[in-house]
Chain A
Amino acid sequence: MVNQKLNITNSDPTQHNIHFTPKNNDDWNQSQPNGAAPMTHEFKRAEVLVPVKCNQHPWMKAYVGVLKHPFFAISKPDGTFTISGVPAGTYTVAAWHEGPGNGTEKTMQVTVPASGAGKADFSFSAATAGNPSSLEMMPALEFPMAMKH
């Protein structure tokens, strides 16, 4: 959540650095040696997914979702997702898929009726995910979906 304190702990037997490279928030980079005390960081503005990398180990990458509300979901292996408890209204749903650069984000207008559910179908091409032969070296990937107003 926006302005929520994010705890960052290094439990590895080696040092890392935590480098957020957001679009809407401030760039932040801090070294964290092994055994160092946990650090905290806050994001002041919403951003579907903020990339995080370790410049010491460039294969290490993560994403932090920063929203103003609790409505988000991570898709299942079959690609479906459900966001529960959304009040009736019209929303912009943002879906994000990891890939080259900061990944690919798509948005869609969805109306949630007073009773029943709205539906949002997104499709991402194989090119979005990048070259499979290169990504075979990566561990299993999760493709989180997130929703924003």
Chain B
Amino acid sequence: MTAEFSPGLTLILGSALLPLLPVRLRGAYTVALPLLGMLQLAMLHTGETGQLDFLGMELVLLRVDRWSMLFGWIFMIAAALSAVFALHVRSALQQAAALAYAGSAIGAVFAGDMITLFVYWELTAVTSVALVWARGTQASYRAGMRYFLMQLLSGMLLFFGAIAFYQQTGSVRFDHVGLHGLAGWLIFLAFGIKCAFPLLHNWLQDSYPEATETGTVFLSAFTTKLAVYALARGFAGTEILIPIGAVMTAFPIFFAVIENDLRRVLAYSLNNQLGFMVLGIGIGTELSLNGTAAHAFTHILYKALLFMSMGAVLYRTGTVKGSELGGLYKSMPYTTAFCIIGAASISGFPLFSGFVSKSMILSAAGAGGYIVAWSVLLFASAGVFHHSGIKIPYFAFFGHDSGKRCEEAPRHMLVAMGIAAALCVGIGVYPAPLYAILPFPVVYEPYSGSHVLAQLQLLGFSALAFAVLMRTGIYPPEMRSVNLDTDWVWRRALPAVGEAGANFVGAAQGLLGRRAARIGSTLLAWVVRHHGADGWLAQPWQTRGMSLWVLVLLLGYLVLYYI
């Protein structure tokens, strides 16, 4: 293992060996490989290695700094935890794809140039779609296809952006890009798709809930946070990210309130959490960027924990629809407890991980004078508690007793959830180790009396609102339904336009049919007369005729020569 060898490659190359192993060893192998990767991370030194000349462009295969190390570590931890959660999986394809997917994301954060970044960027798309398709249903196949197309579009934009950037600057080095010229916008859009910007977001809510119960856990960790990392490096302080981030935090929570599929609720809340990070990048101060980095770290853990708890419910009951669940705390008490810890973390309860990271972004917005953004964040904080913090545990584990009785989640799932929950509480209680690895020095104290009380009041009264709305029957009941989102454009509107176009062409053909047929048959008769079996051009020519024409040509040439 040389210094140039990216920790991402350990997982990618390691995943290729997986199908060669006996089935009973594969599970342990999927956990061991990320642990090996952690060992490798611990041995990395700050600096750049693996410089490579490629078509005159200088590539940097491995750039180790505070940003890449932070994301490298959390990705590796997420890979290990998700692998533990997926220990029951017996499909080599799923296991290998998940490892390679994690490896690609890790390779991407260590990439020092845009070409290397692009290669890993595309690899995350190719490997992750296997986790959606592995569900094996028609719906997952189609959702996976839509997901794949969006990911490839993002990759293509990044590629063209990198080329344009090279032409503008003569370098493909990946540092601050900024919205300068065509290159800047192409790269921004590429990152924006993967980060699920508003209107570009729906691939996420469309595909994640269709993946397998373990696949979604992997998916929730890597793709979007890779985009957050890329935005933070390339577009820190880009002001347009402030309104984009604010919209991202706010609009998904409306969908989350009325969504029935609880994993889709989590996908909407994932989108909302990304908004906090994007807003932090837009503000661009050391405090806000630290907040973004810290929030990405804690978010990966509690989001994985929440998706694990819903994955366990899906695994045991075969559904995660709010309308069909309820009362599961009796059957799955441990899963319930872990889910509540995840819910408390995402809501930002004091002593849980979300509190120590999200509050940095809120403080940065307030201190920077972004009052509108700050109030939207506050609204989103209350809203996220409402739909992720209360709705998810309430409809799955409490609420109306569905009468469903099942076994508790399998032991390996409980272990994975237990570790994730311990990390959520650990970071919340003692944030110093996390603060120590953030990109900039931290001068921030989350636990002041005023701050804790303000947050508790916000959350307490949000809970009160939920309780009152439930008791008065105003709260909308969970219903078997789908809600329209931007995917309606390409699943309904565009096909409808295509169908209308086809009908128009058909009608036009009918109208012109007779005349077109007459023109066509005249043309065909002419062709047959000349080129047909008995046509003039198809007849054998006599030798004497040929020699006569050659003689004429030669004489003509002679005459021309003398003129």
Partners in one complex: no
